[in-house]
Amino acid sequence: MVCLCLSALSLAVSAQTPPIDLPGNRQTPLSQDLIRDRQERLLDEQQQRLQELQQLPGKRAEPAAPPAPEG
pLDDT at 44: 98
Give the pLDDT confidence of 41-60 residue by residue, as tens digits: 999 999 999 999 999 998 76
Of residues 11 and 26, which shows the higher confidence score?
Answer: 26
Q: Is residue 34 part of a domain?
A: yes
Q: Which residues contact 19 (CB under 8 A, 6 or more apart)?
A: 25
Q: Is residue 8 part of a domain?
A: no
Q: Is residue 47 part of a domain?
A: yes
Q: Is the pLDDT of residue 4 over 60?
A: no
Q: Is residue 2 part of a domain?
A: no
**Mean pLDDT within 16-27:** 64
pLDDT at 63: 64
Q: Is residue 36 part of a domain?
A: yes
Asked if 19 and 25 touch (Cβ cutoff 8 Å), the reply is: yes
- 3-state SS, residue 29: helix
d(CA 62, CA 34): 38
Range of the domain at 33: 28-56
Q: Is residue 16 part of a domain?
A: no
d(CA 21, CA 11): 19
Q: Is residue 51 part of a domain?
A: yes
The number of domains in the chain is: 1
d(CA 67, CA 14): 46
